[in-house]
A and B are shown apart, each in its own frame.
Chain A
Amino acid sequence: MSAFLATEVNVAQNVGFYIIAALMVYGALRVVSTRNVVHAALWLVVVLGGVAAQYILAAAEFVAVSQVMVYIGAVMVLFLFGIMLTRATIGAESDLNNRGWGIGIPVAALLLAVMVWAIIDEFGSSIIDEPAQPMPTTALSDVFLREGLVPFLALSFVLLAAAIGAIVLARKD
């Protein structure tokens, strides 16, 4: 509890972080545990919205807006279309999990333990300074159009290829 009383930590920011983080972890657990595919997609919306809120807490406004537009706006609609086009039954399904799904719990727990140990060991006591202002979008565009120009153009081709590939794959011939 002494962590909350430290003067160098913004208490309101931390409380907001923990509330959103708890919501996100619960939503993520429901995504991987619910028996209804549509419910899983809607819980995924909760998680993605929480991620956008965390971006705003981390002074990344542009990324947060991109997250809302791309993930919640576009990707989730794609997912819902994918669910509706591939499912015969509406409602709960009993065979959403593999037969050996239990093996995933120790694997995920081990992975989490290793990562938590590494993070606590390296960053356990370090505190991020309060950002003076959100990251200005001009700083992002400077990186995008200067040293990041070639990856940016490559990314445009990736998106073009993905769009064409999706049309070719999904069209009836």
Chain B
Amino acid sequence: MYAANFLLLGAVLFSIGVFGVIARRNAVMVLMSIELILNAVNINLIAFALMNDSAEGHVFALYVIAVAAAEVGVGLAMVLMIYRNRRSIALDELSEMRG
């Protein structure tokens, strides 16, 4: 197995996720793109764990999975609250915090 395979796949997924975060207007779609980014990072962690034959990379990946689950729960609750207050989850309409 080439080491670069997993790392290149992670880089491609990361870039696609970054594009999604920049391009999407719907808050739920942005959260999905963030999931793509987190999974790209996890692939890299697992690849490095395989390279070094250590369990630490797997443990880090599990931490990332757990934090991502918490992030999605809170993020979707916030999206739901914003939708309830404004009847819209378009991110470019949320300008209250603009200085």
> What is the distance, in angstroms, from A152's C-beta to the closest C-beta of chain B?
8
Within 8 A of A (CB), among B2-56: 2-9, 11-26, 28-29, 31-33, 35-36, 39, 42-43, 46-47, 49-51, 53, 55-56
Q: A75-B72, A82-B28, A120-B4 are in contact. Are A63 and B20 (CB under 8 A)?
A: no
Interface string of A15-31 (1 = CB under 8 A from B): 00100010011001101
Chain A residues closer than 8 Å to B94, beta-carbon distance: none
Is chain B's binding surface mostly helix, strand, loop or mixed?
helix
Q: Which residue of B lies closest to A52 (CB)?
A: B39
Are A78 and B76 in touch, CB under 8 angstroms?
A: yes
In the complex, number of A-B residue pairs with CB atoms less than 8 Å apart: 248
- Are B49 and A86 in contact, CB atoms less than 8 angstroms apart? no
CB distance from B98 to the nearest CB of A (A): 16
The answer for the CA separation of A129 and B36 in the assembled complex, in Å, is: 28
Most interface-central of B6, B31, B59, B70 (chain A CB within 10 A) = B59
Interfacial chain A residues near B58, Cβ < 8 Å: 60, 62-63, 135, 140, 143
A81 to B76, CA, bound (A): 9
Number of interface residues of B (CB under 8 A): 70
**Chain A residues in contact with chain B, CB under 8 A?**
3, 9-10, 13-14, 17, 21, 24-25, 28-29, 31-32, 37, 40-41, 44, 47-48, 51, 54-55, 57-60, 62-63, 66-67, 70-71, 74-75, 78-79, 81-83, 85-86, 93, 95-99, 101-105, 107-109, 111-112, 115-116, 119-120, 123-124, 126-131, 135, 139-140, 142-144, 148, 151, 155, 158-159, 161-163, 165-167, 169-170, 172
Binding site for A on B (CB under 8 A): 1-9, 11-26, 28-29, 31-33, 35-36, 39, 42-43, 46-47, 49-51, 53, 55-56, 58-59, 61-63, 65-74, 76-81, 83-84, 89-92
A-B residue pairs in contact (CB < 8 Å), sample of 16: A21-B5, A25-B9, A47-B36, A51-B42, A54-B46, A57-B1, A63-B58, A67-B65, A75-B69, A108-B22, A111-B18, A127-B3, A128-B3, A135-B55, A140-B55, A166-B74
